[in-house]
Chains A and B, each alone.
Chain A
Amino acid sequence: MAMAEQSRKGRRRSPLFGIAKKTGSTLLTVVATMLGLLFVTFFIGRVMPVDPVLSIVGERATQEQYQAVFLELGLDKSLFTQFFIYLGDVVQGDFGKSLRTGFPVWDDVTRVFPATLELATLGTLIGVFIGVPLGVLAAVKRGTWIDQVARVVALIGYSMPVFWLAIIGLMVLYGKLGWVSGPGRVDIYFEDIVPSVTGMILIDSIIARDWTIFWNAVSHIILPASLLGYYSLAYISRMTRSFMLEQLSAEYITTARVKGMSEWAVVWKHAFGNIKVPLITVIALSYAGLLEGSVLTEIIFSWPGIGKYITISLLSADMNAVMGGTVVVGLVFVLLNIFAELLYKFFDPRAK
């Protein structure tokens, strides 16, 4: 990891000074990245040959009606003026209104993001609980058939067009076998029954102690989450294997073995103990990837998540919505990155 390289080079200074400086520069990084993100999105939105006015007025509008909306949106002003007006609003917490849905972008995003969060979290959990043991096993049994099977299982996950697998999975497991529930987050007549606290139906139904809805939601989420989980499993298991191999070939492991330590202890206590930190980085990155919203999975499973929201908005030139969504996704990504970096500083002996 490049970040790891950077952090290993941390210099020694007075700890307090160091912390203050780090916090300051981290904050600066976040702000600079977010600004850049906003600017790039804004710029793309404006050069895109999709006309936001047409999205509002529709096919039949007269020139005069078109012009009225054009002015209302402030599109006659220069690009930079528009950007700074927008930026001013954002700083005050106002992301504007979605042109397409008519709702404030912030409302829309807080509605769609929990759906993605729920799916991505479960997907990552599946990926971790299967992927990590699989990776460790493959490393320990390097070169045996177990290693080969693990490799093929993982690489198939990498190579499968997810939308294709999703359609097939839906057709077989829901359509033919009826083992799981269909598209959507819950059966539609269960919607809006439990009060929305977190926006994540699994958690909301636990809070409300409504187990019927909880199990219904589980039966809906399990298939898309498994698909995303398979994908992240593939990545996590390959990385785990690679980290473990590095450790297992290290001198201290040989020493431990020579000392007669049990194989279990060697693998899990020593080698695995040492890869925890880079592994968490990998998991955080894979989690961040899923939190971007898997557009294709969301479309096929009619999952009202953020990936689908941003995509549809983009295609109808609803730039307020696209920027709001991108900022949230970008922020999550940056924060997860910082979190991984902090972990490194905290646990990696070389960084201390």
Chain B
Amino acid sequence: MNAFRSTLFSSAVILAAGVSIAPVIAATPDNMLIIANRIDDITTLDPAQSFEFAGSDVNRNLYSKLVGFDPANLSGGYIPALADSWDVSEDGKTITFTMREGVTFESGNAVTAQDVEWSLRRVITLNKTPSFILSQFGFTPENVAETIVADGNTISITTDKRYATSFVLNCLTATVGSIIDSQTAMEHEVDGDLANEWLRTNAAGSGAYTLGSWKPDESVTLVANNDFFRGAPEMQRVIVRNIQESATQRLLLENGDIDVARNLNPEDVAGVALVDGIAVDSELRGRLMYISMNQKNEILANPKVIEALKYLIDYEGMQNGFLNGQYTIHQAFLPATYLGEIDDAPFTLDVEKAKALLAEAGYADGFEIGIVVREAQERIEIAQSIQNTFAQAGITVSIQVGTGKQILGIYRAREHDIYVGAWGPDYPDPNTNAGTFAFNPDNSDEAGATGLLAWRNSWSIPEMSEATLAAVVENDRDARAAMYEAIQREHQQTSPFAVMFQKIEQTGRAENVQGLSLGGAITAVSYWNVTK
């Protein structure tokens, strides 16, 4: 049943004790998979624009990419998908893919190299938020005609420098790498928008599923594509229903009205684990929880204070308390399972040491500081726990809670003191996090590098930025890993980021449902391997 046992940290906990809280009275139809999840963050289904967790989950099942992951073997890395094979040129700048034969889109049109050319160029031309995943290789709207070129059944892409091949291919597995049916899409183009508007609510892909319907805040329905090139999926319909409350998801699961509940909190996980016929899976995801200290604040810019605060967080208490089972202590910016990951955790709650450091810094009596945090239960609890432990060293914390967008606005404008944040990797390559936690070439306000976490915290790191740049062009895998390890060790000690935890997604599932992969730390969910 555990399809991802091979994934390093994945584990499945099945506790089928004899105590049943609720009788399982109903069951969902055999060829249908029904999932409860929070999906109100989906704003668009266009692969060139979609950038949220729930959106990626939908896209991975609607579209295929040149290269992809086998849901049953995520740790095996990328494998051929729409591309059958690829060659790298002598200078390492050009990768030429040969297309798989006989694959069709849901419209019946054949998937051709032309479609790949159109889809990838489109990402660059539209220049929506996630386009940086491809444009970081030097593609611009002006040069795509030369750099992304189809020829017969091959497609070649030429980068501006020689990058690690794995870096380029990893980026192509991201949602922006989705291959769209150019013919169908262009029939719906309006005012030269490359069908951006139409693809927002429709799909034209060659994935395992086609889009049945998307009702915002309500549900997404996927219908099986029985011509899928890896074989027809067993689940003929997959319905993802938007259920906000953990307690509600649990009740639905226990009553057999859904097959999978994806947002159970630790208490509800413990509860469903006792119910007959329900299993709980734990899968390590890529999301990190951290706090960051704005270097514009004079107090927080003091290296001793930064170090002291890292000793004033009750990592273990939180992990074993309200985060139990859903976050694991992790103190480096690369998530576990990534190339170059380190598992050092040098910081623990040590009030005496922190007090000594604060005294050295000249704040023996503490100081007052603000924490901004978005309205999300676990983050508010983290903020409160930090407030509590900071107070033990005389630091008075005021917490400001706001909606996600409000708090993000403050953060991007560099107006916070301390921010409680979460960060999920965008593509399965170490640069995805290194390029934001440890990269900030121009710290001026004018630079406006709002996408970079280091910039948002006003942390000026010309040397570390150089090191991060050097790591992306290193082609030797081991050397590259060593570079990231070194950067992280320095980052861990000196940066104004206290990375605290990595996410473990706990899923409650009806026992008869097998083979569901959430995508680990590297990709999104896939439904086509699911059986009942």
Contact = CB atoms under 8 A, between A and B. Distances in A.
A174 B26 CA distance: 12
Given A60-B426, A176-B22, A299-B245, A189 B129 contact: no
Contacts of B248: 170, 182-183, 300, 302
A48 B282 CA distance: 39
Contact of B243 (A51, A57, A183): A183
B23 A182 contact: no
A49 B28 contact: no
B398 interface: no
Interface string B15-44: 000000111010011001010000010011
30 contacts: A51-B405, A55-B405, A56-B43, A57-B128, A59-B408, A60-B129, A60-B130, A60-B132, A60-B451, A61-B129, A101-B216, A101-B217, A102-B43, A102-B200, A103-B216, A167-B245, A178-B25, A182-B248, A182-B257, A183-B251, A183-B252, A188-B257, A189-B239, A191-B239, A304-B217, A308-B217, A312-B40, A315-B405, A316-B403, A317-B405
Contacts of A187: 257
A43 to B, nearest CB: 18
Contacts of B128: 57, 65
A57 B237 CA distance: 31
A171 B251 contact: yes
Contacts of B216: 98, 100-103, 108
A189 B29 contact: yes
A62 B451 contact: yes
Interface of A: 49-51, 54-66, 68, 98-103, 108, 111, 167, 170-171, 174-176, 178, 181-184, 187-189, 191-192, 299-300, 302, 304, 308-309, 312, 315-317
A190 to B, nearest CB: 11
Contacts of B257: 181-182, 187-188
A50 B449 CA distance: 20
Nearest to A184: B241
B251 A302 contact: no
Contacts of A171: 247, 251
Given A176-B22, A187-B257, A189-B239, A182 B405 contact: no
Interface in B221-258: 221, 237, 239, 241-245, 247-248, 251-252, 254-255, 257-258
A334 to B, nearest CB: 27
B406 interface: yes
Given A55-B405, A99-B43, A302-B248, A175 B34 contact: no
Contacts of A299: 244-245
B34 A309 contact: no
B528 interface: no
Contacts of B448: 62-63
Given A316-B403, A316-B405, A170 B450 contact: no
Nearest to B130: A60
B70 interface: no
Contacts of A63: 448-450
Nearest to B257: A182
Interface in B450-491: 450-451
Nearest to A187: B257
Sorted nearest first, the 4 A-B pairs with minimum C-beta distance are A101-B216, A63-B448, A102-B200, A175-B251
A176 to B, nearest CB: 6
Interface of B: 21-23, 25, 28-29, 32, 34, 40, 43-44, 51-52, 127-130, 132, 200-201, 213, 215-219, 221, 237, 239, 241-245, 247-248, 251-252, 254-255, 257-258, 403-406, 408-409, 412, 426, 448-451
A181 B241 CA distance: 16
B254 A66 contact: no
Given A60-B451, A175-B22, A102 B44 contact: yes
Contacts of A59: 408, 451
A175 B219 contact: no
A59 B405 CA distance: 9
Contacts of B132: 60, 62
A170 B252 CA distance: 10
Contacts of B40: 312
A102 B51 contact: no
A170 B215 contact: no
Contacts of A68: 127
Nearest to A181: B257
Contacts of A103: 201, 216
A54 B217 CA distance: 19
A55 B450 CA distance: 15
A65 B127 contact: yes
B451 A61 contact: yes
Contacts of B129: 57-58, 60-62, 65
Given A63-B450, A187-B257, A188-B241, A182 B252 contact: yes
A259 to B, nearest CB: 59
B51 A188 contact: no
A50 B405 contact: yes
A111 B29 CA distance: 27
Contacts of B251: 170-171, 174-175, 182-183
Nearest to B46: A102
Instruction: Point out which of A99, A167, A184, A312 has the most chain B C-beta atoms below 10 A from its C-beta.
Output: A184
Nearest to B375: A315
B55 to A, nearest CB: 10
A49 B242 contact: no
Contacts of B219: 188, 191
Nearest to B212: A192
Nearest to A304: B218
Contacts of B213: 192
Contact of A60 (B22, B51, B247): B51
A300 B246 CA distance: 10
A315 B244 CA distance: 15
Contacts of A55: 43, 405
B32 to A, nearest CB: 6
